Structure 1
């Protein structure tokens, strides 16, 4: 998890737990422009959220985004606890 550019803290929705799967999926789709500059420039990028649904959709979308941008990465996930709150993380790691 070294050298990861975390896309987190820029939006009020970062700490939100969405009410529905559709809302979570729409949020993930809206994150595409935030991820692409890093993916395209071979920079490891990640996202952290208390909403497991968001990570589930990112786990589905990230491989599509990397293939579309011709980027070769592996995708990692982790579940941690911070100040009593569960945080889900997902990030890319460039393949050499």
Structure 2
């Protein structure tokens, strides 16, 4: 596995378990501006979370 640029660690919500799928989807969408510069450069981006709902988004 290559190098991964992790974008988590900057938010108080990183370890949060969201109450609903809708909240998790909104949070995942909010991460896009932080990850898009890496995606355009084709750099592997990672986000670690204990919430399975966010992982599925």
> For this structure pair, what is the TM-score category when the shorter chain's length is used for normalisation?
over 0.9
Bigger RCO of structures 1 and 2 (CA < 8 A, at least 6 apart): 2
Large movers: runs of 4+ above 3 Å: none
The count of residues paired between Structure 1 and Structure 2 equals 57
- TM-superposed deviation, 1:38: 0.2
Mark the structure with the bigger radius of gyration. 1
Aligned pairs (5 A) from 1:17-96: 17-57=17-57
TM-score by length of 1: 0.57
Larger strand share, 1 or 2? 1
Q: Which runs of 5+ in 1 are unaligned?
A: 58-96
RMSD: 0.8
- TM-superposed deviation, 1:42: 1.4
Q: Distance in 1 between matches of 2:6 and 2:40?
A: 15
Q: Which runs of 5+ in 2 are unaligned?
A: none
